[in-house]
Structure 1
Amino acid sequence: MSDSFPEIEAYLRALHVLRQLSPHTLKAYRTDLLVLQENARAEGLTLSKVSNALIRRWAASLHAKGRSPRTIARTLSAWRGFYAWLALEGEAQKSHSSLSVNPVSDVKAPKRNKLLPKALSVEQAIALVEHAAKEAKEKKDWESYRDYATIELLYSSGLRLSELLGIDVEPSRSSAGWLDWDAAEVSVLGKGNKRRTIPVGKPAMRSLQSWREMRAQYLANTKELALFISIQGTRLSARTVQARLRRLAIRAGLPTHVHPHMMRHSFASHVLQSSHDLRAVQEMLGHASIASTQIYTSLDFQHLAKAYDSAHPRARAKSSGK
């Protein structure tokens, strides 16, 4: 590509000196600004003579070439910043006086397509937790009981992984979360340090009670407060939960990569589709905005019952666990 206009080189130097951007970021700026330069040259214009209409046409051409909304937004941001700098320089040097308005100021990139969260179907979710229960019953080792309890709780209450790992056996001054064993509720500290309390279904409570008994035997002589612990007797790590859930899903025969946040998506989707109570699901998920919860209305899952206790696939399970 031909040499850059001097204004572009001056702007890149200013970014390097004043904002101390990394070489990688400066390279991205240069790439976007060279696109602007070539478009201006093709029209026989200097950069200061580029109009708003031309910017819109060039943005549209990027879209026609298959550039993603994210890429177009980044390119327009680079152009917008350049023209803002050029106007300031023109004011300081009494040049580019015709640049009275930033030609990119009101040009927006195409809206990004919102990706729907990936969730398990009701049948897949039940198959996963039931397989975890089967392994715990057959192996009778403490890790299997722990994994079963974590999966049940993730699906039963829609917790984030960080919230799950922050739960202690009993509340203390330093506890981020804890279980109310009598009320069958879990209290967690979510995003923005906002505390919320979520109900826990009966099957999940049974799995947690079994794990608590196993945990007490394993940690008889320690003071570790974490509900879920590692083989070293310390608070369980996120990586361990992710790895063990992934392998368990494979053994359960699920045809998809399962991760902890997928259990949260599944919880939200299944309860919302049955209860139709967007505000209640928002509260249980700890979403600050109802818009974050509304995305689950786009997921097409079968209807269950009308309220949480009767709607949730695991909450409906009989006391026998079948």
Structure 2
Amino acid sequence: MAAAPEQSQSADDWPARYLGELATQRQLSHHTVSAYRRDLLELATLAGHHDWPRLTHHDIRRFAAKLHAGGQSARSIARKLSGWRGFYEWLSRQVRLAANPVDGVRAPRRPKTLPKALSVDDAVQLMEANAHGHPEPAELCDRAMFELLYSSGLRVSELASLDMVYTEGGNGVPASLGWLDLAAGEVVVTGKGKRMRRVPVGAQARTALAAWLAVRPPARDGSAALFLSARLARITPRVVQNRLKAHALRAGTPVHVHPHVLRHSFASHLLQSSGDLRAVQELLGHASITSTQVYTSLDFQHLAAVYDRAHPRAKSK
């Protein structure tokens, strides 16, 4: 018969035993165990005692509110609540608890962060940087990728999965996740939830794509991948990200640029010009209009900036 859990353990020893098990049995890193230790010390400080089984659901809610009032972020509070909850799950196996006091306690809602978007001028400057002269094939590949990301608002995974042409699998099912139809000026991509959509390709992007296709070498595996790495294999999202970052630094773009910034810029600039939220939703491949509505906030930021610059009574003297 298994031995009953120890109940005569000193209250001060419970965290030490718990942290010891995290380190030895679950083999968590020293850094992670140290973070749990700090969280439990903070809980003891908030409680003013070490009688862990006495803490209630109301106490934990009050502590979370106090942390929030003290300026701690919702993310930090959520992490601490998770650590406290794990400790009490363990403690309930050592002593009899009426309930886990952390269960049901939620961190404050995190403020909704708006996606970052380039200004129209910065986007144009980024696209046109180093666009003259006689570029090498790798530069033509990069230019075509960046123009397509901004022109069509693709996710980087959608871009990387594109083939040069439609390829048919069994029973007429497409063999690829996406393909370019340069003559029609559109790409077909498979996005989240395996939803397929057609997206127009702008004139500048079509020109850049034609220039790349004219010099594109055969892929080593014989695939129809539209964009290739230096090893002539299908490009990966990580390589696209690194190339775009380096290009933006050379172009002197004032903010950090990654592929999703170009997707956000596409949506924001299109909405500023058209005001058609439903069309932007379709082009982005969002299943719900709620995901697209964040761009209305970006649009208002643009309008507010125009107001601040132009209205004679916008600024105080």
The TM-score, its normalising length taken from structure 1, stands at: 0.76
Instruction: Find out whether 1:126 has 2:127 as its counterpart.
Output: no
* Corresponding residue number in structure 2 for 1:59: 64
Change (3 A) 1:185 1:7: same
Give the 3-state SS of the residue equivalent to 2:125 in structure 1. helix
- Write the distance in 2 (CA, Å) between the matches of 1:37 and 1:258: 43
Amino acid at match of 1:78: G
2:42 maps to which of 16, 35, 58: 35
Give, in angstroms, the shift of residue 59 of structure 1: 2.0
User: How has the CA–CA distance of structure 1 residues 88 and 170 changed in structure 2, closer, same or farther, with 3 Å as cutoff?
Assistant: same
Q: 1:159 aligns with which of 154, 163, 167?
A: 154
Structure 1 residue ranges, 4+ long, deviating more than 6 angstroms after superposition: none
Which structure 2 residue ranges, 5 or more long, are not aligned? 1-9, 170-174, 305-317
Residue 78 (structure 2) aligned to one of 73, 89, 101: 73
Whether the aligned pair in 1 keeps the contact of 2:220 and 2:233 (CA below 8 Å) is no
- Cα offset, 1:13, TM superposition: 5.2
Partner-residue secondary structure (3-state), 1:183: coil
The number of residue pairs the alignment matches comes to 287
What secondary structure is seen at the aligned counterpart in 2 of 1:126? helix
SS at match of 2:199: strand
Q: Note if contact 1:32-1:78 (Cα within 8 Å) is conserved in structure 2.
A: yes
Task: Indicate yes or no: 2:178 matched with 1:177.
Answer: yes
Distance 2:210 2:35 in 1: 54
Rounded to whole Å, the distance in 1 between the matches of 2:117 and 2:234 is 27
Residue 4 of structure 1 and its aligned partner are, at CA, apart by 6.3
Question: In the alignment, is residue 46 of structure 1 matched against residue 51 of structure 2?
Answer: yes
Q: Given residue 27 of structure 1, which amino acid in structure 2 is its aligned partner?
A: S
Contact persistence 1:161–1:238 (CA under 8 A): yes
Shift in alpha-carbon separation, 1:54–1:239, aligned structure 2, 3 A = closer
Distance 1:254 1:7, change over 3 A: closer
- In structure 2, relative to structure 1, the CA distance for the partners of 1:101 and 1:248 (3 Å cut) is closer
Aligned to 1:150: 145
**1:246 aligned partner:** 245
Q: Aligned to 2:189, what secondary structure does the other structure show? A: strand
Q: 1:257 Cα deviation (Å)? A: 2.4
1:82 aligns with 2:87: yes
- List aligned pairs for 1:1-322, cutoff 5 A: 5-12=12-19, 15=22, 21-40=28-47, 42=48, 44=49, 46-87=51-92, 89-90=94-95, 96=96, 99-132=97-130, 134-135=131-132, 138-172=133-167, 173=169, 174-215=175-216, 218-219=217-218, 223-299=222-298, 300-301=301-302
Give deviations 1:208-227, integer Å, cap 9, x for gaps. 12221222xx4499834111
Q: Is contact 1:120-1:263 (8 Å) kept?
A: yes
8 Å Cα contact 2:11/2:51 also seen in 1: no
Which position in structure 1 is the counterpart of 2:5?
A: none
